[in-house]
Amino acid sequence: MSGPSRSSAGLDVRRKQILFRAWHRGMREMDLIMGRFADAEIGTMPEDDLAEFERLIEVPDRDLLAWITGEAQTPENYDTAVFRRLKGFHTHTSPIHV
C-alpha cells in the first residue's frame, strides 16, 4: 500500500491536516511510517497526543527515521509515549516477507 487507507471523512480540520502531513513528508519511508500510524490512531488520539504527534511531524525525516530504526539514540525530549507507540507500531518480531 502506498497511500492512506483511512478516509478523512468525519475528522475535524486539525486531524485532517495532521493525517495529510503524515502522508506527505518528503521521504517515502517516512510517509509510510507516519502515515500508517496516523491512519490507525488519528481518530482516537487525545488532544495532548495530537500535539505530540504534530511535534514529531516537524522532526526532519532522516533524524526521525534514525530514531525509529535505532541507528541513533532518541533525544530525551522526543522519547515520549507517542514516539514509543509510533516506533512499536512498526516493530516486527518475525520476517515480514514469508
Residue-wise pLDDT tens digits, 55-97: 999 999 999 999 998 899 999 999 999 999 999 987 666 554 5
Domain extents in the chain: 13-89
75, with CB counted inside 10 A (0-12, 13-18, 19+), is exposed
| pLDDT for position 47 | 95
Task: Tell whether domain 13-89 is in CATH 1.10.150.250.
Answer: yes
Residue-wise pLDDT tens digits, 26-48: 899 999 999 999 999 998 999 99
Spatial distance between the Cα atoms of 29 and 31, rounded to a whole number of angstroms? 5
Helix, strand and coil content of the chain, in percent to the nearest 5, comes to 60, 0, 40
